[in-house]
Chains A and B, each alone.
Chain A
Amino acid sequence: MGRRVKLKLGSRIAYVDLVHEVAEDLARDAHFSKSDALNIGLAVREAVINAIKHGNAMDETKSVEIEFEENEKSFRVRVRDQGPGFDWEQTADPREERNMFRSSGRGIFFMKHFVDRVAFLRRRGRGTEVILEKRLQPAGRQGRGGAMKRRKG
């Protein structure tokens, strides 16, 4: 059945690649296509960068927790920081004319594009949690083929 993997890391940008790689590998194990697994990795990457940069304000002593949870229907990732939180209803659309030339402000937009659901939770006095969720397509030919290949290998 479901599998759960949890990581707890200090707030260092150097760890972002590692988390991305773990996310992509676990998504492949959960039978997502290469391209969907990359999208999951990219969404997790953005959430982790934000947790480190904005949530924990680059304070290496503050931790980021990443929890991967897989079941037969979906792949869910929770990214928690120890920051003050923010107003996630107020994020600007980077595609608007006045934002297109900005060199930041695209991370949350990317997350929303790469996975099916992005939700934010404020954990009373304990920081922010971002939930990313991607649904597995119903067991079609592609999914079963992937599973077989893995069993053989």
Chain B
Amino acid sequence: MATDFEFRKQVLDMHMSGVIKYCYQCNRCTDNCPVAEVTDNAYNPRQNILNALLGFKDAIFSAEKIAIWGCTVCDTCDEVCPQSIELTEIFKLLKNHSVANGDAPDFYYLQAKTIFENAKAVPSQPAIERRREQLGLPTVAAPDINELTTLLKNMGIDKKLKGE
């Protein structure tokens, strides 16, 4: 397995304190992970931390999608890790890479596109607006879609979207 040093540096930079180095593979994260439990460790946070720390980029990104996208982001691993490693921060970096490679599950591209076009992950709909009125609720204050789209475009994030 080859170490990708540039990738390894990015992983280490995620934590300014570099605490990920102190992972001693105790497995407490995986033992407490709800997805590891229901998948017989097909999703395995400890393994992800090890691969990330060693810079095994290929092992991470050529594996089945579930290897990184199985996480339900419950932040339990962050709490139980004896070394105070913020695992989900590292996993976020891995997922951002996967998105940029075009390899993430469809949901993530769809949600991003919805936010890009509507400034909301759940856009407003006439039927719900009527229901709000029936319930005596004020109209939702409309977000400035143009401003948000400009912000994301300036940052080049529109380029990561799919299905244009």
* Same complex origin of A and B: no
Give the B-binding residues of A (Cβ under 8 A). Answer: none
Give the A-binding residues of B (Cβ under 8 A). Answer: none
